[in-house]
């Protein structure tokens, strides 16, 4: 069920919101709702870049090498 929400926002930001909503054919209310839904989803699901995921746990059983060794391992892993 939709309910009204009153916000106090800077006038320039309000003008931007109205212009953006007009150009994109979406109401300011819907724009704000989508933004909040995106925040909620982002907080619940931490998405990572595929390269970051591929590196996860690479040093789990070893101590961290120096930065030169890390670069070498990174390039070796991603060159295959």
Domain spans of the chain? 11-44, 48-80
CA gap 53, 11 in Å, rounded: 42
Q: How many residues does the chain have?
A: 80
Report the pLDDT value the prediction gives residue 16, as an integer from 0 to 100. Answer: 94
**Token pair of 43 as six digits:** 């907080």
Residues in the chain where the model's pLDDT stays below 50: none
CA gap 2, 65 in Å, rounded: 54
Burial 10-34 (b: 16+ CB within 10 A, else e): eeeeeeeeeeebeeeeeeeeeebee
Instruction: Answer yes or no: pTM beyond 0.75.
Output: no
């Amino acid at each position: 069920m939709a309910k009204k929400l009153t916000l106090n926002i800077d006038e320039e930001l309000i003008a931007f919101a109205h212009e953006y909503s007009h150009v994109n054919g979406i109401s300011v209310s819907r724009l704000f709702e989508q933004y909040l839904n995106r925040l909620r989803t982002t907080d619940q699901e931490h998405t990572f870049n595929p390269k970051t995921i591929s590196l996860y746990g690479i040093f789990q059983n070893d101590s961290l090498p120096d930065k030169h060794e890390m670069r070498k391992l990174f390039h070796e892993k991603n060159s295959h």
